[in-house]
A and B are shown apart, each in its own frame.
Chain A
Amino acid sequence: GQSLEQPSEVTAVEGAIVQINCTYQTSGFYGLSWYQQHDGGAPTFLSYNALDGLEETGRFSSFLSRSDSYGYLLLQELQMKDSASYFCAVRRAAGNKLTFGGGTRVLVKP
């Protein structure tokens, strides 16, 4: 089966940096994605890593280590609007299915 572990909640202040870790166990790993979801909304794509290393997209960066089955999402210069749930998700080779982690609720305080 597949499983992804990420912290349930993180609280930080505006301007801070937050790192959300994700460890996964899966067969047929294809890549690790990150999504942001505000309450009542649909997931929004943030980043994708298929190969080891760091991907940077503005204030958000994502890292992957395939040998460690580990990745993280780095949120820099936190803003109030970044308060949301963040999900890591594994793309599996079989059927291109996307399996989500439990989600990390990020609360940004003034």
Chain B
Amino acid sequence: GAVVSQHPSWVICKSGTSVKIECRSLDFQATTMFWYRQFPKQSLMLMATSNEGSKATYEQGVEKDKFLINHASLTLSTLTVTSAHPEDSSFYICSAFRDADGYTFGSGTRLTVV
């Protein structure tokens, strides 16, 4: 079946630095990838939709300058958290969509900003 690889699985960074999270579809081409954020004991909140070759579309309330999304190829989407602060500490999950397989989720990235 479809597999989405997400790296890193966890990262600790200093406040003010930037962190890049990669999401890669291993055996299929994903024209659309979604990025979610999940705080402890809460639901997954959609942050943005990443489409290959075009600008990402962000959900209301999500700062596009803070959460930079790049979908340069059909198999790779990246989320960069810029100038991270402790309140950005969360679980970030990507998901690729394909009609044949539905939604395939990455394993998630636990970000801790200290």
Contacts and interface: CB of A to CB of B under 8 A. Distances in A.
Is the pairing of A and B real? yes
Interface residues of B, number: 20
A14 to B, nearest CB: 24
Contacts of B106: 42
B43 A98 contact: no
12 contacts: A40-B110, A41-B107, A42-B107, A44-B105, A95-B57, A97-B34, A98-B46, A98-B95, A100-B44, A101-B43, A102-B42, A102-B43
B102 interface: yes
Contact of B93 (A42, A101, A102): A42
Q: Which applies to chain B's interface (DSSP): helix, strand, loop or mixed?
A: strand
Contact of A45 (B45, B46, B97, B103): B103
Contacts of A102: 42-43
Contacts, number: 43
Contacts of B110: 40
Chain A interface extent, by class:
10 to 19
Given A96-B32, A98-B95, A41 B108 contact: yes
A105 B49 CA distance: 27
Interface of A: 33, 40-45, 48, 87, 95-103, 105
A3 B42 CA distance: 15
A67 B34 CA distance: 29
Contacts of A43: 44, 93, 105
Nearest to A102: B43
